Amino acid sequence: MAYTTVDDPSVYFQTALYTGNGTQRNITNDGNSDLQPDWVWIKCRSAAEANMLYDSSRGVTKDLRTETSAADNTNAQGLQAFNSDGFQIGTMQNVNYNTKTMVAWQWKANGGTTASNTDGSITSTVQVNDDAGFSIVLYTGNETDNATIGHGLSAAPDVVIVKNRETARTWLVGHSAYVNGGNSENMRFNSTMAVASADSAAGSGWSRNAFGSSVFTVGNGTDGDYASSTNNGSDDHVAYCFRSIQGYSKFGSYKGNGNANGTFVYTGFKPARVMVKTTSETSNWDISTGAISANQIGERLRANLTDAEESSGYIDFLSNGFKMRNTNTSQNKSGTSYIYMAFAESPFVSSKGVPTTAR
């Protein structure tokens, strides 16, 4: 059996670094392959600006922001086009701040082509790239407990991220490390809080055993902020669904050791992007990016903050995983549990069984 089906991760994920100039322009990918993105996450690195998320299912100029519960926002000067080798941006400061350094993380789905999915009790509109284990799902809530939504993937997702598009509701992040197995705990991008149980005052956004082979299952939409994030009234929602693909993506958990010779996490590839978050206590959602530095990366951004890049989160990106080189609470506190979401720069072993050479 082949080690990986993805010899070139740049087909499905790329990072673009650029300096803003405040005028309409195209951002062109320079990876090993052209990438027409379908989900683009843009963040200013050198100034405090919002995390700006765009996808080709909702359409251009429509942004969501991970550090806030705000609904869909439309700005004609934001992301204006998904190009065959990148994307076009306007003059909006959040995406094109003059003289400031910027980063854009980009994922490929299905070129904006969607299909109706009737696997669940709620009909969804899905854009799927099963080779990359990624789908973008649009659906309308029905405020019914145990409602199911088809995700379009060929196996159960490891991560489902949901945002209410019409009403100001929290981001709901479900991760297989704490959601499945009879649990329905929740986390959210726009908060530092630890995992919240279904019995908390916040309520549950998921129903138990939420992530199935063809659907994910949500709560009734009425029991607190979390529940109304995934199934509120007749509001429109978007979900980003991921499953691990060997040699390309990995979604798992680890324990911190509180030592600068920190915990090593095996992924089976050299990472291009890693996001981590404690599940057992409050902390930020830390994002480390390989394109910004060489193997040891100090720079980090946060999904829950508008803050500029900080240089105190040292982490090694290795040929087969990542290793913490700090004692920060948000990445490597002793005995603390963490989840991670990682995407590859290059697989550790190619589809032909040959070790690859990572920088």
Cβ neighbours of 28 (radius 10 Å): 14
Structural contact between residues 184 and 159, judged by C-beta atoms closer than 8 angstroms: no
pLDDT above 90 coverage of the chain, percent: 75
- Greater confidence, 196 or 159? 159
State whether 231 and 202 are in the same domain. Answer: yes
Q: How far apart are CA 41 and CA 36, in angstroms?
A: 14
State whether 302 and 214 are in the same domain. Answer: no
pLDDT computed for residue 53 by the predictor: 98
Span 20-47, mean pLDDT? 93
- Residue span of the structural domain in which 28 resides: 9-107
Q: Is 73 a member of any domain?
A: yes
State whether 91 and 119 are in the same domain. Answer: no
State whether 237 and 287 are in the same domain. Answer: no
3-state class (DSSP) for residue 17: strand
Checking if the pLDDT of 123 tops 80, the result is: yes
Q: Which of 64, 85, 107 is the last residue of a domain?
A: 107
Q: How far apart are CA 73 and CA 246, in angstroms?
A: 35
> How long is the chain?
359
State whether 220 and 264 are in the same domain. Answer: no
pTM confidence score: 0.94
Q: Is 61 a member of any domain?
A: yes
Structural contact between residues 300 and 288, judged by C-beta atoms closer than 8 angstroms: yes
Checking if the pLDDT of 245 tops 70, the result is: yes
Checking if the pLDDT of 229 tops 70, the result is: yes
State whether 220 and 294 are in the same domain. Answer: no
* Closest residue by Cα to residue 284 from 302, 298, 297: 302
Rg (Cα) of the chain, in Å, rounded?
A: 19
pLDDT computed for residue 180 by the predictor: 65
pLDDT computed for residue 294 by the predictor: 74
Q: Which of 55, 82, 107 is the last residue of a domain?
A: 107
Structural contact between residues 110 and 40, judged by C-beta atoms closer than 8 angstroms: no
State whether 89 and 61 are in the same domain. Answer: yes
- Greater confidence, 185 or 165? 165
State whether 215 and 260 are in the same domain. Answer: no
Structural contact between residues 304 and 66, judged by C-beta atoms closer than 8 angstroms: yes
Q: How many domains does the chain have?
A: 3
pLDDT computed for residue 57 by the predictor: 98
DSSP character for 358? -
